[in-house]
Amino acid sequence: MNMKHATHSLLVALDASPRCVQRLRFGRDLAALLDADLCGMAVLEPRFEPLPLPTRDGVPSVPLLAEVDPQQMRRVRGQVERAGVPLRWIEPGPEPGSAALARRALCADWLLLGQHDAADATTHDVRADLVEAAVIGSGRPAFVLPCAGTSHAVFETIVVGWKATREAARALAAALPLLRAAKRVHVLGPAPDLEVDALRAHLRRHGVEPRFETFEPAPALAGELLLSRAGQLGADLLVMGCYGHGRLRELALGGATRGVLRAMTLPVLMAH
């Protein structure tokens, strides 16, 4: 891949975990498929350290100084070196962590994130809801890799979870370059939302010949159903919308999104 001539950009979330190495190597191959410039940003949240300062009357005050742990940052850079993947390093700026990632993602075409792994102590400086915060906060489509197993940027079979919503439409649009190259594309959705003729015509205009399946609406189990069917079909990628509930509760996720992020076993491309 010649990064100078890339027409798109893929922004990878970097952390101190061993999974970061695989994320970068996946990102390298994905960037080649998408003709994208590969960029990376550390997503460590700052720690608040006490900074004692005397006041005029001699009584010490203890303001809090927000700083990213330098040792963790060195570990992040170490994982990047281990991956051996050339990328454009982006400094978070004065507001590090998920907020900086969401802001920088506004100028990227795709994000590449990792599923949260509560058992991985090397990610203690990364928000547990980083995926939700980045996708909903930026509005940009994001590839999310599962924390278990090994993922490869090979997408022969793709499953699209469809709803008649802007979130699903944005995810579908973001996936079009991969859908065109895939051997098999399956579109799954509840019968009332799956307008087969319109969707088939839309995808055919983009060089995609889909297969359709409907299921009975069951919001609480939609995520599990999508993952189960994707497994049965041997899917390499699941494409779906990412749903939140209003600005004041924007990280309170819908049932399908929450279920997929909790139990995903394959890469997922989602958009809000």
Ordered domains of the chain (ranges, CATH): 3-48+68-144 (3.40.50.620), 157-271 (3.40.50.620)
Check pLDDT > 50 for residue 247.
Answer: no
What local confidence, expressed as pLDDT, does residue 206 receive?
A: 97
Q: What number of other Cβ atoms are within 10 A of residue 145's Cβ?
A: 23
Q: Tens digit of pLDDT for each residue in 45-78?
A: 987 655 555 555 555 555 554 678 889 999 999 9
What percentage of the chain has pLDDT greater than the value 90? 67
Q: Tens digit of pLDDT for each residue in 111-149?
A: 999 999 989 999 989 999 999 999 999 999 999 999 988
Residue 110 pLDDT level (bands cut at 50, 70, 90): very high
**Cβ 80 vs Cβ 42: under 8 Å:** no
What tokens were used for 65?
A: 């100084």
Per-chain mean pLDDT for the chain: 87
Residue 192 pLDDT level (bands cut at 50, 70, 90): confident
Identify the residue whose tokens are 């997408």.
155
Q: What is the mean pLDDT of residues 177-202?
A: 92
What local confidence, expressed as pLDDT, does residue 92 receive?
A: 84
What tokens were used for 204?
A: 């055919």
Q: What is the mean pLDDT of residues 20-43?
A: 97
Identify the residue whose tokens are 């090397």.
122
Residue 251 pLDDT level (bands cut at 50, 70, 90): very low
Residue 6 pLDDT level (bands cut at 50, 70, 90): confident
What local confidence, expressed as pLDDT, does residue 95 receive?
A: 80
- Calculate the dihedral angle through the C-alpha atoms of 98, 104, 109, 113, rounding to the nearest 10 degrees: -20
Query: What are the two backbone dihedrals, phi and then psi, of residue 46, each rounded to the nearest 5 degrees?
Result: -70, 150
